[in-house]
Amino acid sequence: MIFDALKRHNKKEQASFHMPGHKKGAGFMATPLESHIFTYDTTELCDTDALIAPQYEILEAEKRAAELYGAAHSFYLVNGATGGILAMMYAAFSPGDVVLVDRNCHQSVINGAIFAGVLPVYITPETSGLPGIPGTVSPENIKEAIKQYPDAKGLVLTSPNYYGKAANLFELAGVMHRAGGLLLVDEAHGAHFTFSSVFPQTAMEQGADMSVTSLHKSLAAPNQTALLHIGQNVDVEKIRASLRMFQTSSPSYIFLAAMEQALEDGASRGAELTEKTLKFLTELECPTLDDPFKLLPDFRSKGLTGREIDEIFREKFGIYAEMTTEHGLLLMASWYNCEEDFKQLKKALDYCRSLRDVSVDHHEPVSFETTIEAAAFPLSSLRLKEHKPIPLEAAEGLICAIAVSAFPPCIPIVMPGEKITKETIKTITVLKEQGATITGLTNGQIAVCFND
């Protein structure tokens, strides 16, 4: 529908005297970017509809997305899932609200807490069952958190997580609704779930109040494309007003058309493509969690670290993984991997499996017990406080200003507004010694809040 409108417009337009400046792709001629696709990169005109307040083709496309994902309404996003997460948190909560937050969250959730001015209560998820791989928060975790914080206005969690572990959203939605709170889900990695019964149901089908789905992660859509879904009890216009704050007012029509086509491809062929892809994946015999398209090979028995396996895959087989874990890789497959891709991956896996087993005293994979800990203050206060970098070893008892995480395994160690403990410092030090990349530190120093 969107693409059809763009084609009709292109036939009518003889000369462009509006944005964008490349004038239907003419500015890209004779450059590496030359492509007919730019002839469809236009702006909001009388016959192309407007993302900021859609009435025609874009509105119909949003209704179709809602139908596919089990939502009351869906919104097209061109600022990625990040823009959607910021918008839904800003619309859902008020300054000072207590909000339960899955601490293994994307940085946009923390930024959303800052914009909304909420007091986050960080909840460490349970383990996934695979060594060093985090799981998700459980209904029991949330029931306990509500006992401690009965005035919590909502829960923001990630499901599925980066590794393909999905939460029990049916039960979590029930727990939150009985407590009078909202369930907001970062479903960025679950765009393909709705197209086959092999996958978990979508967040909206399981009772979430709002969710954000990132199309580019698993469908045939460009980076920055995503959807924001809402349930029956959420005000459409309130969300659209919030989106106007966090989305560009100059959306890419190429993105919009590509999103629509990606969803229709999923609707028409998703089940068939899933079945075909699973046949290839089954032959690889890789560990997975709830999403069989997320592969988690682990070669601890070979004495290899994730970084070493990553180097083998890249240098010997030309395979680039999504990320390394402590002793393996995270590999993301999609419908659009071809048979040759899977054959090459099998060669790499078989090579690693052929290496001799070794008996080495490797450290235990990183794991964290489930904890429930509130920030020291609403995160909107962060910008009012003085931030100073100080040596990590001198930070005990102070309040962290910037999230610190370890990669691998990408588990947050300390979040903004949390007190830095002796255990925190020890964990960061040990992980650094083990070769992990620590984000949130600068030259070995950690940013802390000084003034009250």
51, 41, 56: which is closest to 254 by C-alpha?
41
Structure-token match 């975790």, residue found: 141
Task: Tell me what pLDDT residue 26 has.
Answer: 84
Task: Tell me what pLDDT residue 418 has.
Answer: 92
Distances, alpha carbon 387 to alpha carbons 200, 382, 416, 440, 446, in Å: 42, 8, 11, 13, 10
CA distance 217 to 226: 9
Query: Parallel, antiparallel, or unpaired: how do β-strands 119-123 and 98-102 relate?
Result: parallel
pTM: 0.92
The DSSP element (H or E) to which 348 belongs, if any, is helix 339-354
Task: Tell me what pLDDT residue 359 has.
Answer: 74
Task: Tell me what pLDDT residue 11 has.
Answer: 86
**Which regions in the chain score pLDDT beneath 50?**
none
CA distance 293 to 219: 12
Task: Tell me what pLDDT residue 18 has.
Answer: 79
Task: Tell me what pLDDT residue 365 has.
Answer: 55
3-state helix, strand, coil in the chain (%, to 5): 40, 15, 45
* Structural domains of the chain ordered from first start: 270-354 (3.90.1150.150), 385-449 (3.90.105.10)
Task: Tell me what pLDDT residue 67 has.
Answer: 98
Q: Three-class SS string for 409-424?
A: CCEEEECCCCECCHHH
CA distance 212 to 227: 6
Which sign, positive or negative, has the C-alpha torsion 7, 11, 16, 18? negative
202, 214, 343, 192: which is closest to 269 by C-alpha?
192
